Amino acid sequence: MPQPISELLLQRILAYWAWSGVVIDAATEEKALAITARALHQPEQQRLSFSLQALQEELPGQTPIAAASPPLSRSSMHYGDY
């Protein structure tokens, strides 16, 4: 039996939040259900995009990741005789 669309939407919303560091508790589950319910009222083609947009609105803004390397402190390698 194919997965019902509501289950698919709910699963993706919760997974996205969980992987983004949101704690999944009763309140977030309620929010996820609300987004799912609103998405189901959208045209069939737009349900996934609606829910993705809505779930991202609930996320905190992207935090910049600390630099991978320190400021450069350049100097040269010298190549002598063999």
Q: Which residues bind another protein (CB under 8 A)?
A: 2-3, 8, 11-12, 15-16, 18-21, 48-49, 52, 62, 64-82
Of the pair 21, 43, the CB lying nearest another protein is at: 21
Tokens of 33: 């259900």
Of the pair 23, 66, the CB lying nearest another protein is at: 66
Rounded CA-CA distance 22/14 in Å is 9
Rounded CA-CA distance 56/61 in Å is 9
Q: Report in angstroms how near the CB of residue 70 gets to another protein at its nearest.
A: 6
SS3 state of residue 20: coil
